[in-house]
Amino acid sequence: MGFVGRLERRKGIETLTAAIPSILAAVPEAKMRFIGTTLSHPESGIAYDKWIQHKMPDHANSLEFAGKYPLDRMAEAYDTLDICVFPSLWENFPNVCLEAMSAGRAVVASRAGGMFEMLDRGRVGRLITPGDSASLAREIIFLLKTPAERIRLGEAARKRVLDTYNENLIGQMMERIYREAIHRKAKHS
């Protein structure tokens, strides 16, 4: 399982950190991989990778901090994960969620922002309330222990991206939005 994105408070990194001990207690062989730039904890100033390691010294062998991947190697990054975890406290419409879905990975995410819509209100991914580490742990444990559901969700997520967020549909939508904006501007000029 893994987290992809900036290691920072807004992305729910503290929620995930609080969930990890429960996950590892239930599935001791699990590994948590962090992929992305590490920012600093706002109060302590300590880099989040070091902050997480400090919080969980007994789980050091289950944690991996891969750092930032170049964009042209992100497909490799997703290939190393079976579950992608995005527990953001607030969010817009994150590319990492679409990327994970495109890679056919099961996604556990918060209901924050666009992920609720991307994951079709939970039909193609598991959703939690932002900041709820107990629910996050339960959802991840369920998917770790239920490979068939993990695979089903990954396939459903990929299908949703191909059906809903493909370049033809997005291109047509953007063109319509631009035409409407031009029309409104012309009308008020």
pLDDT at 99: 96
Query: What is the spatial distance between Cα 76 and Cα 84, in angstroms, rounded to a whole number?
Result: 14
Q: How many CA atoms lie within 13 A of 30 on its CB side?
A: 22
Residue 160's nearest CA partner among 97, 72, 86, 111 is 97
Question: Domain for residue 179, yes or no?
Answer: no
Q: Which amino acid is at 71?
A: L
What does the pLDDT read at residue 177?
A: 84
Calpha distance 131→139 (Å, rounded): 14
The H-assigned helical ranges of 12-146 are 13-26, 48-55, 74-79, 95-102, 115-118, 133-145
In a domain, 89, yes or no: yes
Q: Does 166 reside within a domain?
A: no
Q: Is residue 170 part of a domain?
A: no
CA distances from 29 to 12, 61, 74, 165 (A): 23, 10, 25, 35
The residues of the chain scoring below 50 in pLDDT are none
The domain containing residue 36 runs over which residues? 2-160
* Residue 167 within any structural domain of the chain: no
C-alpha closest to that of 30 among 110, 179, 144, 109? 144
* 188: in domain: no
Helices (H), 103-166: 115-118, 133-145, 147-164
In a domain, 165, yes or no: no
pTM (2 d.p.): 0.89
- Number of folded domains in the chain? 1
Residue 187 lies in a domain: no
Instruction: Give the domain CATH number at 123.
Output: 3.40.50.2000
pLDDT for 12 = 97
